[in-house]
Amino acid sequence: MRIGWCCKWVPPAGDDRLAASMNLRDTTVAALSRLGPAEATAKLLGLVEGNMLALAAQVEEAAAAPPLERCLRIISSVLPVYTHPVARPRYAEPALREGVERGLVAIGRRARAAGVRLSMHPGQYCVLSTENPRALANSVEELDYHTEVMAMLGLSGGWHREGAHINIHGGARAPGVEGFRRGFALLSEETQGLLTVENDEIAYGLDDLLPLAETLPIVLDLHHHWCQSRGEHIAPDDPRIALVRESWLGVRPMGHLSAPREGLLPGGMDPDALPDFGALVAAGVPARELRAHSERMWNRAINGWAVGHLAWTDLEVEAKGKNLASHDLAEAAVQGRVASLAASL
């Protein structure tokens, strides 16, 4: 079982200089467009060299952690504005291409050797269930980019090697799962072997996605499910969990976790009680506020419930505190093990 953090590293002591060396940088299309070809290549080369060092440092951080915490989501902008026409020719230039390949190959080798599970998660506009041809074409191109990154990490070719995956949401509601299947059919075999789909809070709940379980793995986001179902803390032995597990075809599943923000009520919330969706709404908390992610995994009851799900899935913690929040859950898992062992003696 593994618990992971997402994209950005937060220093425990708030050391901004250390955080700068551990986190990746990006640029904008507008900024790159103002430069000539040589300047644009130089700018991207500098960013890529820095990002390779930062990503290598993140992987080392995960590799140095206990096996329980060796899981990391790579930020999608690891290669800044890669798919845009203003940048794509620059990435084809030998110096930049060599820097990308050399860096990612070494990072992937280190992650695999240390048992660090890697994933990526394109942004919300990357959707396969859409009736907009241009949006679909852009999404396919974006997924191709993520697959290129995974390939250079040594994690493509076959079915979710080393548990690696590229995760997206269901997309627009109107085309439904059949629209998703049509978009999925446009992907390369290599990308299909990496793709997963996640339930969200509005358009595609867990029950909506289960028909896709025979097409690709389902990532169960526990917090999204709590929001979409208006309060269900799904049990690890729920029959739907078995369908999610089967969708991974023998690979250990991945799930997502967060918690509602602690400050939703003026007097705070009980950290030892599972949040009550209905009671919070009745108290005047808007549903959109309930969907927001917490800073840390502050709720001990949520942590205990989530630890039960580690019996069948790894978990990426999507709280804003990143690695600090994922460590909160890891500590809860260790404490749960100790308590279980003590009870058995």
Q: Residue 209: how many CB atoms within 10 A of its CB?
A: 25
- What are the residues whose beta carbons fall under 8 Å from the beta carbon of 1, sequence distance 6 or more? 68, 310, 311, 314, 333
pTM of the model: 0.94
129-187 pLDDT, tens digit each? 999 999 999 999 999 999 999 999 999 999 999 999 999 999 989 999 999 999 999 99
CA-CA distance, 217 to 245, in Å (whole number)?
Answer: 8
**Top CATH class, 3-344:** alpha beta
In the chain (345 residues long), the average pLDDT of successive 10-residue segments reads: 96 82 95 95 96 97 97 98 94 95 98 98 93 95 98 96 96 92 97 98 95 97 97 97 98 97 89 96 94 95 97 97 96 76 51
pLDDT of residue 345: 46
Q: Is 124 exposed, middle or buried (0-12, 13-18, 19+ CB in 10 A)?
A: exposed
pLDDT of residue 13: 80
CA-CA distance, 155 to 166, in Å (whole number)?
Answer: 11
Domain ranges in the chain are 3-344
Q: What share of residues in the chain are helix, strand, coil (percent, to 5)?
A: 50, 10, 40
Which tokens belong to 280? 């919070």
**Ramachandran quadrant class, 250 (left: phi over 0; alpha: psi -120 to 50; beta: rest):** left
334-345 pLDDT, tens digit each? 987 656 544 554
pLDDT of residue 339: 60
pLDDT of residue 341: 46
